[in-house]
Amino acid sequence: MIRIEGLAKRFAPARRGAAPVLAVQHVDLAAADGRICGLLGPNGAGKTTTLRLLAGLLAPDAGRLTVDGIDVVQQPRAALARMGLLGDARGLYPRLSARENIVYFAALQGLSREAAHARAEVLADALDLRHLLDRRTEGFSQGERVKTALARALVHDPANIVLDEPTNGLDVPATRALRETLRHLASPAGGAKCIVFSTHVMQEVERLCDHVVVIAQGRSVAQGSVAELLARTGRTQFEDAFVDLAFGSPGEAVR
């Protein structure tokens, strides 16, 4: 369960005298367990900053972030232990094998050696990584990298999963496989995880999300299921609905 209320974050200007950058002005989000929540917005809307605030990498100027009721600002480490993060940066250690990359993060999450290796095996099967497991990540393709990074993020079997544009750079089969994985993780069989992911791709949201939060210019301008958003805007195409919500006049923005 992830809850974001009234979140705001501004960055100091690059030059003295310039106006500060208002990256996030007011974002609200509620993501329930066993559901997939999409954070949809154009480039520069504040999606990555929102997710970095959620990961505790930045301190918010205002608002509240909680993960399973744990405040991210007050208890960052307890909150991180309940989240699996696949951020904007997903670098692997090239001289380490995929297994070593996964086991390293497992150890930092506090898993025992045996538990870490057991989890690596489970994730290798779930993410179709087995043939890569003992290869150094140096020559991995983009898709193989994302899979390894995802395995690394899920190593402690977190109840909440946060992904920043996870399908970036993936080809169609890899995207479909990732979609399948996320659907499985949200299902009762996969552990009914609470999944939040950001994207600017419409189809992904249409095909995957139970709940959508539209972000534009640092504000969450609408939320609901795809059907609800279509009904609200009176459109038949989700893309048209999105454009209305994200770029329409501010007065039309509805909650």
Partner 1 sequence: MSHAGVVATVFAKEVMDALRDRRTLLIVLLSSVLMGPLVLVALSALVGNLEERAERRELVVAGLAHGPTLVNYLQRQGFGVRAAPADYEAQLRRAALGDPVLVLQADFEAALRRGDAPVVEIVSDSANKRSEAGSARLQRLMAGFARERATLTLALRGIAPDLTEPLRVRERDLANPRVRGTQITGMLPFFVLMAVLYGALHAALDSTAGERERGSLEPLLGNPAPPWAIVLGKWAAVVAVAMAIAVLACFSFVPAQWLLRSDTLAALFQFGVREALVFVAVLAPFAAAISAVLMAVAIRCRSVKEAQASAGLVVLGASLLPLAGVFNLGEQAPWQLWVPALAQNTLMTRVLRGEGFDAAQALIPPLVCAVVAAAALAYVAARLRQAALR
Q: Does 107 bind partner 1 (CB under 8 A)?
A: yes
9 backbone φψ class: left, alpha, beta (φ>0; ψ -120 to 50)? beta
State the nearest-atom distance from the C-beta of 85 to partner 1, in Å: 4
Q: Does 196 bind partner 1 (CB under 8 A)?
A: no
Q: Report long-range pairs for 130-137 (Cβ below 8 Å, ≥24 apart).
A: 132/98, 133/97, 133/98, 133/99, 134/97, 134/98, 134/99, 135/97, 135/98, 136/94, 136/95, 136/96, 136/97, 137/92, 137/93, 137/94, 137/96, 137/97, 137/98, 137/101
State the nearest-atom distance from the C-beta of 23 to partner 1, in Å: 11
State the nearest-atom distance from the C-beta of 243 to partner 1, in Å: 30
User: Using CB under 8 A, which residues numbered 26 to 55 contact partner 1?
Assistant: 52, 55
State the nearest-atom distance from the C-beta of 84 to partner 1, in Å: 8
- Binding-residue pattern over the window 124 to 153 for partner 1, x denoting contact by CB under 8 A: -------------------------x--xx
Q: Which stretch binds partner 1 (CB under 8 A): 62-70, 77-85, 189-197, 220-228?
A: 77-85
Q: Which is nearer to partner 1, 62 or 78 (CB)?
A: 78
- Binding-residue pattern over the window 86 to 105 for partner 1, x denoting contact by CB under 8 A: xxxxxxxxxxx---x---xx
Rounded Cα–Cα distance for residues 228 and 106 (Å)? 40
Query: Which amino acid is residue 36, in one-letter code?
Result: I
- Whether the CA torsion 67, 69, 72, 77 is positive or negative: it is negative
Contact residues: partner 1, CB under 8 A: 52, 55, 57-58, 76-78, 80-81, 83, 85-96, 100, 104-105, 107-110, 149, 152-153
